[in-house]
Amino acid sequence: MLSLIRSGRWWASLEDMPSNSLAATTPAEQVERIEAFDTYERGLIAHVQGLQTPVAEMKPAQPTSLRLKVNPYEGKEGENLHFWVREVELAMNAALFSTERLRVAFALSNLGDQAKSWAYTSEATSPGCFTMWCSGISNICELSAAFFPANYEYRQRSRFLACKQGKSDLHDCIQKMRVLAESLVGNPLPEHIKVTVLMNGLKVGPSRAELFRVHANTMEEAIQIALQEEYSHRQARTPTSVWQGHNASSGAVQGAPAAGASTGPVPMELGTAVQSPIRFYGCGKLGRTQCV
């Protein structure tokens, strides 16, 4: 690098210049020599920068793939095929599978027992039958035809239309209706029929009364209305003794009004009243209504 710099004329003029000659030169010569030194400095900087490796360009951040575990579908009675297909599709999207070949291979790897045997037997007898995973609905229809009876959809629809809450909890009844409704993906029921089945299936109570009062357009909207009404009804039925016990455990005097609380009448809960033994005031004994 120094040999390259020394070969320049501006470097030779600086090297031949005596140390005390700058003061003896004219102003024009001083300006010329200063410009020569400035040229030398710029050339040296450019030469050093040319030797440095270029900085790599910043690449945009690539999305990170996520591996999700999928429970294998075995084709047994009681398994929900529609949920399995949805679970497989979510895992495919999280893993960033870009080709249909990878998507089909991933789906086949999550089959088990008789479903796996059916898939690989079909592939062996008809090569290329599983080439694309275009739609979950088509795959559901193929697997349903292989493992479910011909009237499976009719049975599921009949069970949904006859679904009643009975003595079960509201959340359990709603979850059962959701599962039955999701099993009819191939030929779903209209939303107004789902809402009607939900309204008639609930037992008489605040949730059902609210559904008959408020018009819901979809089944999910009706479910949210029923759950909200159930929660509000439970909050309104909370006994006053529960709040009094909470105040006593936090250091407040039980029965005394809290700071800033209203001192008005407190509603009476007859269901929480405890009957004390009867004492006859004639003889002072318990459990007697007449003194002989």
pLDDT at 223: 92
Residue 285: inside a domain = no
In a domain, 128, yes or no: yes
Same domain? For 98 and 158 the reply is no
130-169 pLDDT, tens digit each? 777 765 556 556 666 666 766 777 888 888 899 998 888 8
Q: Quick one: 141 and 165 in the same domain? A: no
Span 183-191, average pLDDT: 80
* Other Cβ atoms within 10 Å of 182 Cβ, number: 14
- Determine, yes or no, domain membership for 275: no
Looking at the 3D structure of the chain, how many domains does it have?
A: 3
Does residue 52 carry a pLDDT above 80?
Answer: no
Of 19-23, 106-110, 192-196, where does mean pLDDT reach its minimum?
A: 19-23
In a domain, 192, yes or no: yes
Per the DSSP assignment, residues forming a β-bridge with 111 are: 73
Residue 214, in any domain of the structure: yes
What is the mean pLDDT of the segment spanning 226-247? 72
**Tokens of residue 155, six digits:** 């049975």
216 vs 257 pLDDT, higher one: 216
Residue 14 near residue 37 (C-beta atoms within 8 A): yes
Position 114 pLDDT exceeds 70 = yes
Would you put residue 136 in left (φ > 0), alpha (ψ -120 to 50) or beta? alpha
List pLDDT tens digits, range 199-228: 999 998 888 889 898 888 999 999 999 999
Going by pLDDT thresholds of 50, 70 and 90, the confidence category of residue 6 is very low
Q: Is 111 helix (H, G, I), strand (E, B) or coil?
A: strand
**Same-domain pairing of 163 and 217:** yes
For residue 203, what are the domain limits?
A: 153-236
Highest mean pLDDT among 9-18, 51-60, 94-103: 94-103
Q: Which residues contact 243 (CB under 8 A, 6 or more apart)?
A: none
Average pLDDT of the residues in 114-121: 79
Share the mean pLDDT of the chain: 74
Asked if residue 273 is part of any domain, the answer here is: no
Residue in the structure block whose two tokens are 């609210």 = 210
Residue 218: strand, helix, or coil: coil
pLDDT value for 268: 62
**Alpha carbon 44 to chain centroid, angstroms:** 60
Say yes or no: 132 and 157 in one domain. Answer: no
Contact (Cβ atoms closer than 8 angstroms) between residue 11 and residue 43: no
Flag the least confident range among 47-51, 125-129, 169-173, 287-291: 287-291
What's the Cα-to-Cα distance from 41 to each of 35, 44, 104, 164, rounded to whole Å?
Answer: 10, 5, 65, 91
101 and 127 co-located in one domain: yes
Look up residue 254 and give its two tokens. Answer: 């039980």
What does the pLDDT average to over 51-71?
73
Question: Is 205 among the domain residues?
Answer: yes
pLDDT band at 125 (very low <50, low <70, confident <90, very high): confident
CB 177 within 8 A of CB 201: yes
| More confident site: 275 or 47 | 47
* pLDDT at residue 224, as a whole number: 92
Residue 247 identity: N
d(CA 123, CA 108): 11
Q: Is residue 231 part of a domain?
A: yes
Residues β-bridged to residue 279: 286
* Residues 138, 175 within the same domain: no
93 lies in the same domain as 135: yes
